[in-house]
């Protein structure tokens, strides 16, 4: 079975920075794309940023220029550096691994979520 374990959430003041990390473990042959999504109270889960195995990135307009996603294919890890955080960034952040090649075929996996609170 594949597991995604996130770390790095917490409380930060507006304008501050946080770094989220996610490690995928288990019987993994390869991972197509990894990314971060978030869900604020009362809102739907939304894409924050994704990165493919080749390093192509995609960002939500609301985080462009502030957040940077990176990935280590050898370690099956993905990180999200979040700078100039805003109150509107408060949410539970979820790590996603898309089209993970396993012995059971291509599957998607989610982490358990990590809370980011931006508040003064």
Distance (Å, whole) CA 56 – CA 1: 27
User: pLDDT per residue over 63-102, tens digit each?
Assistant: 999 999 999 999 999 999 999 999 999 999 999 999 999 9
Beta-carbon contacts of 64 under 8 Å, excluding residues fewer than 6 positions away, are none
CA dist list (Å): 120 to 10, 27, 63, 104: 13, 42, 20, 46
Residues 6+ apart with CB under 8 A from 76: 23, 24, 25, 28, 31, 97
pLDDT tier at 118, thresholds 50, 70, 90: very high
């Amino acid at each position: 079975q594949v597991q995604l374990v996130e770390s790095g959430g917490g409380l930060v003041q507006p304008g501050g920075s946080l770094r989220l990390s996610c490690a995928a473990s288990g019987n993994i042959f390869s991972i197509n794309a990894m990314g971060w999504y978030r869900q604020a109270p009362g809102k739907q889960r939304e894409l924050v940023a994704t990165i493919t195995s080749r390093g192509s990135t995609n960002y939500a307009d609301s985080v462009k220029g502030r957040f940077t996603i990176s990935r280590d294919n050898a370690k099956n890890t993905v990180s999200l550096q979040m700078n100039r955080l805003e109150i509107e960034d408060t949410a539970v952040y979820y790590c996603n691994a898309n089209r993970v090649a396993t012995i059971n075929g291509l599957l998607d996996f989610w982490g358990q979520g990590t809370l980011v609170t931006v508040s003064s």
